[in-house]
Chains A and B, each alone.
Chain A
Amino acid sequence: MSHVSTRMTSGVSRRRFLERAGLAGIAVATMGSLPRRAFGQAPAFLKGARLAILQGTYFIAPAQDLYKREAQEWAKAVGATVTTDFLNWPDLQPKIAAAVQAGGVDIVELWPSWNWLYRDSLVDLTELAEEVGRKGGGYQAYVLNSARVSGRYLGIPSGQSNGSMAYRISSFKEAGVAGAEDGRKLDMTWEQYFALAKQLKAKGRPFGQALGHSTGDPPSFCYPYMWSHGAMEVDRDGKTVLFNKPEFVDAMKRFIQAWKDGYDETGTSWDDSNNNRAYLSGQISSTFNGSSIYFAAKKDKPDIAQDTHHMLIPKGPAGRFYWLGSRTFAILKSSKQVDAAKEYLRWWFGEKYDEWWRLQEGYHLPHVVKYDTDALWEKDPKMAPFKDQPKYGRDLGYAGPPNEKASLAYSKYIVVDTLARAVQGGSAEAAVKWGADQLQRIYG
């Protein structure tokens, strides 16, 4: 066969043709497998799977939208159907309880200590959770202290929304607080904070604190106040109630006085959103809240955002504390799509968590240590104080485990109601005794 005869009529040599065909084949194969590669070799069992996900509503709305889009992205790529529902925080737990009993939901977002409550109804995700932790350089200490049930992970830890003291820079300056323009420099005791409240209430700008039956801000303020004055629900043995302590009674007396002198007294009925609105309307000059206030202000009230900073929660004689336990994404045993749910969580934590976390610009405290040194914390100095929050984190039921008893005390708002009763009734002794009796009924 002559050399010429090896040429095809189009003028392309056989070798060239084979090269091109080979490249084209590789290209087609590569393009065809793109979604599979991006979605981690989507197994066949995902096609047609139907997942229902239940979460608490987001205070940073764009992050909720992003989560929905991400879920749909996964669903589209693997040929599954995913529905995402977002409930008000106080409604989330009853809905999960109903799902545990009746089914219909596959993945649920659990608040700290709920893993204990539903432990018999949750799929063991230890292997996957440890993989997620390993990839992130290990879990944060507060996650390790809160997310496991008897050493097992019954959900993948996702971190927790932040919370600390938001304040108006101008008001603090006016009250003579040195370094008010930079919350990172403020390191107050409760006495100092209450004294400021008194000073500013006299000028018509009181502090505000939610003490109603709501699951976020009221316990996030009340538990740390208790811990920082040496009291706790229960000792390490999980039985001995350590609530009615003289130093805590004294602290309660100071709080009663501070409430009259420095706070907006309608706070006894506030829920997680009332203090946001009060702050954004200029009615109060400081409150315990997530940075969602600041985010909302940046969007709608730039002058208030400009005048807002955050500082660490005040400290008491026993130290500085935050109530901080990790939320987890768990799979209900009643789910008919356990494997698909695991694949979804593996994908989301592996591929999407980072984007979701960054969008919230520090509102959501991360679950793993690799984010400790992330440049995001340098982006906005007003968010920097939250970076240190995990260092002071304790979970419900401390010094005991965050188990179902701790959860029952939390669900009955015992610590919150102790403070609410104190400011309503005026007797610190009676309120603390009431709280101790209630805790004794649970832990005794």
Chain B
Amino acid sequence: MSVPRALSSTVGTTSSDARMRRRRAGLLEREASLGVLLMVPGALLLMVFMAYPFFLGIWLSLTDSMIGRMGRFVGLRNFVDLLGDDIFLQTTKNTFVYAMVTVPFKATLGLGLALVLNRAIRFSNGIRAAVMMPWIVPTALSTLGWFMIFDPVFSPISWLLRHLGLATRNVNFLGDPVLAISSVCLANIWRGIPFFGIIILAGLQAVPNELHEAAAIDGATTWQRFRHVTVPAIKGVVLIATLLSIIWTFADFQLIYVLTKGGPANQTHIFGTYAYQIGLAATEIGTGATIALYMFPILAFFAVLLLLYLRRED
């Protein structure tokens, strides 16, 4: 007996739908294929917004391109030329000073902040939220506050010092070479402390109280408890926070741009601001990309350190 055509078609469709469903289910059941599926959106985003600009940056750094004019391939000429550029060398020095001075301060003060916040105090949640403000507020906005504090004409600090008789004229916060780099470092430290504070606080709260109690019963002093109980417990998070902070500080831009734009006389230029000035303001996008790429080995070094540590912890 032959199956009516319509019925045959329905049966065929049903069985094919079922096969599809099974195949789909199988795809989702298998860990390997599910993993690939879940990775695809992230990988696409990374390729479009990270990998493409990165490789474009590498290509540009090997050309003499200007904005609006694709240049010729010049090999490593931009990299070599920059080594003879006084401003670039000054920028490199500034970047290292900026990162290496600020991160230890941020880590130390952040640790202190975390220890204070870890104590049972009233309104602790509110206080913890409040101390995060420098980290949460957009950098450009909070830096404007510092811009006013360091204002060469209307600085409240200068006003106070003059009225206390401690200074006869306004402090040249952003115009004196030493004070300028110190001032931008100070603003950076202020902004970065909460990050360390909250990360370390999370580490501190994971330390069982029993350990402290046991050490206290054994006669350990406060310092000994801190040294032998607290420090080993938070060592990992401090290291991770430090490495992340170094990477972010090296790649900073907004704070310097708002406060000094690299001045006075390039004393506060860091890689980000100098790359911006040359690449976008002076339109030498090839050289600008090269300046930015000089950051890459430094950032890669710290990123690898971070990954190695995390892998060891795993």
Binding site for B on A (CB under 8 A): 90, 93-94, 97-98, 100-101, 117-118, 120-121, 211-214, 264-271, 274, 277-278, 281, 283, 404, 407-408, 411-413, 417, 420-421, 424, 434, 437-438, 441
| Minimal beta-carbon separation of B226 from chain A (angstroms) | 42
| Minimal beta-carbon separation of A290 from chain B (angstroms) | 18
Q: Which residue of A lies closest to B263 (CB)?
A: A213
- B153 in contact with A424 (CB, 8 Å): no
User: Knowing that A264-B170, A269-B260, A274-B153 are A-B contacts, what are 6 other residue pairs whose CB atoms are under 8 Å apart, sorted by A's residue number?
Assistant: A97-B285, A213-B261, A214-B261, A268-B264, A420-B263, A424-B177
| Minimal beta-carbon separation of B293 from chain A (angstroms) | 18
Q: Could you tell me the distance between the alpha carbons of A98 and B86 in the complex, rounded to whole angstroms?
A: 27
A121-B180 in contact given A98-B280, A269-B172, A412-B282 (Cβ < 8 Å): no
A212-B154 in contact given A266-B170, A404-B66, A434-B86 (Cβ < 8 Å): no
Q: Mark B60-85, 1 if CB is under 8 A from A, else 0.
A: 00000011110000000000010011
- A100 in contact with B67 (CB, 8 Å): yes
- B281 in contact with A93 (CB, 8 Å): yes
- A94 in contact with B276 (CB, 8 Å): yes
Complex interface residues of chain B between 224 and 262 (CB less than 8 A to chain A)? 260-262
Q: Could you tell me the distance between the alpha carbons of A32 and B307 in the complex, rounded to whole angstroms?
A: 73
Contacts of A404 in B (CB 8 A): 66, 283
The 8 A-B pairs at the shortest CB distance, nearest first, are namely: A269-B175, A268-B175, A266-B152, A121-B68, A411-B282, A269-B174, A213-B263, A94-B280
Q: Could you tell me the distance between the alpha carbons of A413 and B277 in the complex, rounded to whole angstroms?
A: 10
Contacts of B171 in A (CB 8 A): 266
| Minimal beta-carbon separation of A267 from chain B (angstroms) | 7
Binding site for A on B (CB under 8 A): 66-69, 81, 84-87, 151-154, 169-177, 180, 260-266, 276-278, 280-285
- A269 in contact with B263 (CB, 8 Å): yes
Q: Could you tell me the distance between the alpha carbons of A354 and B284 in the complex, rounded to whole angstroms?
A: 37
- Please indicate which of the listed interface residues B173, B260, B261 has the most CB atoms of chain A within 10 Å of its own CB: B261
A281-B154 in contact given A404-B66, A412-B278 (Cβ < 8 Å): yes
Contacts of B264 in A (CB 8 A): 211-213, 268-269, 420, 424
Q: Which residue of B lies closest to A333 (CB)?
A: B68
Q: Could you tell me the distance between the alpha carbons of A29 and B151 in the complex, rounded to whole angstroms?
A: 62
Contacts of B67 in A (CB 8 A): 97, 100-101, 117-118, 121
Contacts of B285 in A (CB 8 A): 97
- B173 in contact with A269 (CB, 8 Å): yes
Q: Could you tell me the distance between the alpha carbons of A212 and B87 in the complex, rounded to whole angstroms?
A: 15
A269-B283 in contact given A413-B263, A421-B265 (Cβ < 8 Å): no
| Minimal beta-carbon separation of A165 from chain B (angstroms) | 19
A277-B262 in contact given A120-B68, A411-B282 (Cβ < 8 Å): no
Q: Could you tell me the distance between the alpha carbons of A441 and B69 in the complex, rounded to whole angstroms?
A: 21
- B87 in contact with A412 (CB, 8 Å): yes
- A411 in contact with B172 (CB, 8 Å): no
Q: Could you tell me the distance between the alpha carbons of A268 and B174 in the complex, rounded to whole angstroms?
A: 8
- B266 in contact with A417 (CB, 8 Å): yes
- Please indicate which of the listed interface residues A269, A283, A404 has the most CB atoms of chain B within 10 Å of its own CB: A269
Contacts of A278 in B (CB 8 A): 152-153
| Minimal beta-carbon separation of A217 from chain B (angstroms) | 13
Contacts of A417 in B (CB 8 A): 263, 265-266
Contacts of B176 in A (CB 8 A): 268, 424
Of A213, A268, A283, A437, which is within 8 A of B153 by CB? A283
Q: Which residue of B lies closest to A278 (CB)?
A: B153
Of B84, B266, B281, B284, which is within 8 A of A94 by CB? B281
- A117 in contact with B261 (CB, 8 Å): no
Contacts of A265 in B (CB 8 A): 169, 172, 175
Q: Which residue of A lies closest to B158 (CB)?
A: A266
Contacts of B66 in A (CB 8 A): 117, 404
Q: Which residue of A lies closest to B276 (CB)?
A: A94
- B154 in contact with A118 (CB, 8 Å): no
- A408 in contact with B284 (CB, 8 Å): yes
Q: Could you tell me the distance between the alpha carbons of A268 and B67 in the complex, rounded to whole angstroms?
A: 30
- A213 in contact with B172 (CB, 8 Å): no
- A120 in contact with B69 (CB, 8 Å): yes
| Minimal beta-carbon separation of B263 from chain A (angstroms) | 4
- B283 in contact with A117 (CB, 8 Å): yes
Q: Which residue of A lies closest to B151 (CB)?
A: A274
Contacts of A270 in B (CB 8 A): 152, 175
